[in-house]
Amino acid sequence: MHWNEVIGQEEVRERLLQMVSEDRLPHAIMLCGPNGVGKLALAVAFASHLLGEDNAMVKNLQHPDLHFTYPTIKLPSMGADHMPVSDDFAREWHELIMQGPYFSMDDWLTAIGAENQQAIITAGESDELVRKLSLKSSQGGYKVSIIWLPERMNIPCANKLLKLIEEPPQQTVFLMCCEDPDKLLETIRSRVQRIDVKRIPEDTLQQALIERRGIDEQQARRVARLAGGSWLRAMEELQAGTENEQFLDLFILLMRQAYKRDVRSMKGWSETMAAFGREKQKRFLNYFLHMVRESFVYNFHQPELTYMSQSEENFARNFARFINEANVLPITDLINLAIRDIGQNANAKIVFFDLALQMIVLLIQK
């Protein structure tokens, strides 16, 4: 994969290349940033540079010295004692990443047939890495280990990886693509060189949309603004019938039920939410945060500060007055608590019903 597949991020690219040219490449780099800004694209492009961009195996992302680690799930066909590892899903991973290095966890879960499971990186994966990286480089150069979403490592895996990073095999480079570094062991964070990958500038997104998706300048400008610096969000905005439309309908439904204090209907709403997989539940809650923030800002009547689609703005026009200085922070805290509880496998029906009931009280605060 070549650098031209990375959208923007010239500053990070130059920093990585400078490390190589000045012979001060660290053995472990962590690329940190939000979803959709190109962390994996940067990692794969840099790995290709280290291994030889013109190598046919590198172009096909099947070089023997290039290793991918990513979250996995336990399939029903796996034995009781088997800890899932990346190699169990190598075919699905290769098919997905060859389509392009910009994809979400939901895309990955769909590719591997996950339903309500949460994907993690197990201790079995770190054992596999130790085994693979202990071998000599097949081409006599670098061995590159790309770890996608290392914050999803369980504790046994994280502890084993820590030892591997502390005493790395010769000519091994770890490239981690992380969205939530605070969830990693502090001892791991202290042993890697962190590089923050910023959101993609609007003008860069706009130009990429015109060149790569063939849309007109006006539409590209609107989509780039709504995307918030994320290429994935931009792609979602281009798709008809996106998940966000469903989330908006669910958000509007809950707000109306809370306003009417229709507890029976709210119970049905919470059951609908509980039927979603946990990853989708967390995406909805993050969308909830988005709508609360945008509704609050809408009250200031400064369009340049709001980032809503037309349908979102149509609802906010009448709803925004219910989100004010008295309740915006309590509502935000409530949603963040729900995100935490869902992430810890709490009963989703209880979590969402409790959230719904508390919204009755919070919406009337002034």
User: Across the 366 residues of the chain, what is the mean pLDDT of every consecutive 10-residue run?
Assistant: 92 96 94 96 96 86 94 89 93 95 92 84 93 86 95 94 90 95 94 96 95 89 89 83 82 96 95 92 93 93 79 91 94 96 94 96 84
Q: Nearest-CA neighbor of 5 among 64, 68, 49, 57?
A: 49
pLDDT at 241: 46
> Can you tell me the distance from the alpha carbon of 195 to that of 256, in angstroms, rounded to the nearest whole number?
43
Q: What residues contact residue 112 under an 8 Å CB cut-off, 6+ apart?
A: 72, 73, 89, 92, 119
Q: How much is the pTM?
A: 0.74
pLDDT at 41: 97
pLDDT at 79: 86
pLDDT at 242: 64
pLDDT at 53: 78
